[in-house]
Amino acid sequence: MMLSEMQQDALTEFFNICVGQAAGMLSEIVNRKIKLSIPVIDLLSADDITASYFDSCIGDSSGHVMSSSLQFGQEYNGKAFLLFPVDQAKLLVNICLNEISDNAIIYDQQELLDTDFDVIKEIGNIILNSVVGGLGNLLVTKLTYSLPEVEMLFVSTEKQADLLQNNIYAFMMKTMFSIENTQFSGTILIIFGMDSVTRLIAKIDDMLEESDAFTS
Amino acid sequence: MHSLLNCLLDNLAHGILLVDKEYRVVLWNGWMERVSGLNKADVIGKKVSVVCPCFVELKFRRMLMDTIVRGQNCFFAGILHHDFVSPKNVEISQEAKRQNMQIEAFYHQGETFALIQINDITVQYRRVHCLQNMIKRLEMDVKAVKKAEERARQSALYDPLTGVCNRNSLFERLEYVMNQAKRAGWLVAVLFIDLDGFKIINDMHGHITGDNLIKEVAVRLKQTVRQTDIVARFGGDEFVVILPNIYDPAEANYVGQKIRHSIDEKFNLDGKIVSITASIGISLYPSDADNVENLLKKADQAMYSVKAFGKNDCQFASTM
């Protein structure tokens, strides 16, 4: 399944609004000015997501990524992930906890403590609630949400195969976080069944048609 | 059964709070009573923001609303927000309390509620803090050990005054380059350098000036030879330069003369102008000797021969 340029633009605009709202909420929660860049969106099938593609999205972190995820269900179901390379996750935590300037030792290492997992859980929760909630609004449907989960994933080829079985599609959104003068990257991955993707794209097409009717 | 469940709820080790869609408290368990000091009877039916002041803040109120209206679940980390239910004992510092809060949608008989669970993570937080400090201390210890190792390595291999190789590492390196030369078919030249009249300078200007002169000579030697050549202090005012891969003995003589001329230049040692010359003996591997001791001995003998015939010159061991 391929997205046309118009569909791609419409989805980018839509997800950008969600991500923007998430940034606003995050800023409020952590008391720091946080910006999230306009996400670069790809719609991928399980076959498209090769190990090297995944690596290019999450950076070289020796296969380890920090994942905050939540499941959503009802009419549309799937799972949303916020993925960070481990070093970037640590950097984000340290900035949120004001530990960046005087704690080069901890910054250097990639060890994540229990409390760091909690911070990532909260950040992931805010961003994913915003993005998945936005999808629910767009599709005018009520979704149910699981509680967020945080884990350290080792993204092996087998693990990717588990995540992305047949007839599964994934929206992959790469975005840059910017907190004060520090930038780091994260990837939002939303995994859907084929039906849900088809309906989402149909909804986007309806919106584009309405927009054409309005302007022509 | 009902009373058993209530008893169970009251004895849980974390706070349970149920809020209806009007944001009024429906359930307030024993943990909440114990920590906040507010009795169930006084709390039930009241607005949650009245009994749990964190919900006065817009950010938490909005999340609670998202849970009730949209069914979204939320998690708040104690490490970022400190606490959500303030302890009744005001003597306990706010800084010391850490709680995680989780809000999730709860549906019962067609009604929507927000189930709020609060976990005290103060002990865990302190443990993490201790762990962090321990990691920092370990890192610092490892750094100190590495520094000490580096210092020990430096003093084992390098001359503390000049920073060039010491006698021990000279022997090791010479053996190594001789083995390499044997395989590659190269020549190795050993230049034994002794300063002429160093004792007089030491006596005339003092030991500090003498030491400074030794340091400056080492600098000039390093500047005169290639980076791949080896400069070592043999002891006192004696230096050895190894040229590890040459093809023609004339190259060794060329380098020897260059060294001689560079030392011949006047030294300015903290305003004191000092002149000195060098006598240099040269031995070659494999023609003069095939082991380290004899190769150095031959170069040393050649150097003494220079001294005997007027100093300030270079001489090959093979011409003695």
**CB–CB contacts below 8 A, A to B:** 79
Q: Quote the distance between the C-alpha of residue B115 and its chain's center.
A: 49
Report pLDDT digits (tens) over A3-44: 888 888 888 888 888 888 888 888 887 777 888 888 888 887
Q: Which two tokens stand for residue A134?
A: 């936005």
> Tens-of-pLDDT digits for all 216 residues of chain A?
678 888 888 888 888 888 888 888 888 877 778 888 888 888 877 667 666 666 666 665 555 677 788 888 777 778 888 888 888 888 888 888 876 444 444 444 457 788 888 888 898 888 888 888 888 888 888 788 888 888 877 655 555 555 555 557 777 788 888 887 788 778 888 887 777 888 888 888 888 887 776 665
Site of tokens 């300078």 = B201
Alpha carbons A38 and A15: distance in angstroms, whole number: 8
A119/B100 touch (CB, cutoff 8 Å), yes or no: no
CA A120 vs. chain centroid, Å, equals: 13
Q: Across the interface, do B79 and A115 touch by the CB < 8 Å criterion?
A: yes
**pLDDT value of residue A9:** 87
Share of chain B above pLDDT 70, in %: 97
Nearest chain B Cα distance for residue A126, angstroms: 8
Alpha helix stretches (DSSP H) within chain A: 5-30, 51-58, 86-96, 104-108, 114-138, 157-163, 194-215
| HSE-CB of B46 using CA atoms within 13 angstroms | 16
The residues with which A174 forms a beta bridge, in sequence order, are A40, A187
| A96 with B139: Cβ contact below 8 A | no
B286 preceded by cis ω (within 30°)? yes
Summarize the confidence of residues B174-195 as an average pLDDT.
95
A163: closest CA among A48, A42, A56? Answer: A48
Residue B123 contacts A, CB cutoff 8 Å: no
What is d(CA A24, CA A32) in angstroms, rounded to the nearest whole number? 10
**CA B230 – CA B245 distance, rounded (Å):** 11
Taking CA atoms, B182 is separated from A192, B141, B255, B286, B298, in Å, by 69, 44, 22, 8, 19
Highest mean pLDDT among A17-21, A144-148, B91-95, B190-194: B190-194
Considering chain B, what is the average pLDDT of its residues?
90
Nearest alpha carbon to residue A14 among A136, A146, A186, A120: A136
The predicted pLDDT at position A103 comes to 44
Q: Which residue has the tokens 């350098």?
A: B193
Query: What is the pLDDT at residue A61?
Result: 52
Which contiguous run of DSSP H or E holds residue A36?
strand A34-36
Sheet holding B238-246, edge to edge: B230-235, B238-246, B187-196, B277-285, B314-316
Q: Which residue has the higher pLDDT, B225 or A136?
A: B225
Contacts of B73 in chain A (CB under 8 A): 70, 125, 129, 145-148
First and final CA of chain B: distance in angstroms? 112
Question: Does residue B18 carry a pLDDT above 90?
Answer: yes
| Interacting residues of A197 by C-beta distance below 8 A, sequence separation 6+ | A1, A43, A169
pLDDT number for residue B92 = 53
Separation of alpha carbons B31 and B25, rounded Å: 15
User: Which chain B residues touch A146 with a CB distance below 8 Å?
Assistant: 73
- How far does the CA of residue B160 sit from the closest CA of chain A (Å)? 31
Closest CA to A198 of A23, A21, A43, A84: A43
What average pLDDT score do residues B180-193 get? 94
Pair of tokens at residue B150: 């580096």
**Cβ contact, residue pair A144, B71, below 8 Å:** yes
| Residues listed for chain B | 320
What is the predicted pLDDT for the residue at A43?
82
Q: How are beta strands B277-285 and B314-316 bridged, if at all?
A: parallel
DSSP code of residue A175? E
Q: Over pLDDT 90: what percentage of chain B?
A: 65
Q: Output the six-digit token pair for A49.
A: 């997501």
Q: pLDDT tens digit string along B23-69?
A: 999 999 999 999 888 999 999 999 999 998 889 888 889 889 989 98
pLDDT at B124 over 70: yes
Distance separating alpha carbons of residues B208 and B214, to the nearest angstrom:
10
Print burial letters for B114-143: b (CB count within 10 Å at least 16), e (below 16): bbbbbbbbbebbeebeeebeeeeeeeeeee
Inter-chain CB proximity B59 and A28 less than 8 Å: yes
Residue from B65, B68, B72 to probe the interface with A (highest A Cβ count within 10 Å): B72
Q: Which pLDDT score is estimated for A83?
A: 84
**CB neighbours of B266 closer than 8 A, spacing ≥ 6?**
B273, B274, B275
B256 vs B34: CA distance, rounded Å: 89
pTM: 0.66
Question: Average pLDDT, stretch B232-252?
Answer: 94
More confident residue, B22 or A37: B22
